[in-house]
Amino acid sequence: MHPGFVRQGTYSIVACDQRSGEIGVAVQSHWFSVGAIVPWARAGVGAVATQANAEVAYGPRGLAAMADGEDPRAALARLVAADPAAPTRQVAMVDTRGRIAIHTGESCIPYAGHVTGDAVTCQANLMGSERVWPAMLEAYEGAQGALTQRLLAALDAAEAEGGDIRGRQSAAILVVPVAGHDWDVVVSLRVEDDPEPLAELRRLVGLHEAYALAGRADEAAGEGRYDEAAAFAREARELAPDNDELLFWAGLGAAQGGDVDTGERYVRRAIELQPGWAELLPRLPAELAPSAAAVLARLRQR
């Protein structure tokens, strides 16, 4: 490794959800595109956060070591020992067994520190308060729901305790499943540059969930389970009520489920938001959208 010059004020959390097995990293910093630097994770392996005077190589090298079965503590100790700029680094790791490792170099800019829990570690540097990282752990451990939501709760708690002393700029969340291919992810979202990156990250997470439901609707429809498809599409629309894409497909799903009135209303609203849907509707093949012809006929009657 070589000394780097990416000096960030960053808080992050790295965790393995012991119930689902999901592994994730979430981070916020007053630095452009922090998601390209700090968070690393691989399905069935583990996760890494590399920050402060960030050396990106800790990410892929840490994952490679855990993929080979090395204990995160041994792996991180070995990587730190080989790094001449280790006193300026802050690095955290967790594997699928919930084993954690954390290094906060003595030259990280105050306030800097970390705290660990059961299969979770929270770390921060260049903070406005020493309460940041303990508050993150408290929020994570007290939060309900999926790992993604618990990680977001930790970020919000950090900001409430002062966060980065310089303010806010970018944020990211990366969650992977307990097993799968290297490219499998549960959620991977980044806010590159925004005055309120955590609010924007939450918005994107909600939109991600809506599109995931829309994907389940497509899958159900493709298998002829039209009632299920309509239910998934309706849930997706409720999560993102002003999204024209989801409105359009939810409309076709409602029509296919027998509610042509609702289907027409949703599709009409989607066309008001984006006229291109009116051109797409008659192009849709019956095997892809069996209700398209019925909705189109209704629209032409008005």
Query: Which parts of 118-181 are beta strand (E)?
Result: 120-125, 170-176
Percent of the chain residues past pLDDT 70, beyond the cut: 97
Q: Is the peptide bond before 140 cis (omega within 30 degrees of 0)?
A: no
pLDDT band at 181 (very low <50, low <70, confident <90, very high): very high
Domains, the chain: 10-195 (3.60.20.10), 209-301 (1.25.40.10)
Per the listing, tokens 């005055």 go with 195
3-state SS assignment for residue 50: strand
The more confident residue out of 193 and 259 is 193
At 91-134, the pLDDT tens digits run: 999 999 999 999 999 999 999 999 999 999 999 999 999 999 99
**Mean pLDDT of the 233-241 span:** 90
At 266-290, the pLDDT tens digits run: 999 999 999 999 999 999 999 888 8
Cβ atoms < 10 Å from Cβ of 89: 25
Q: Write down the H helix ranges in 188-283.
A: 197-222, 226-239, 244-256, 260-273, 276-280
- CB-based burial of residue 19 (10 Å sphere; 0-12 exposed, 13-18 middle, 19+ buried)? exposed
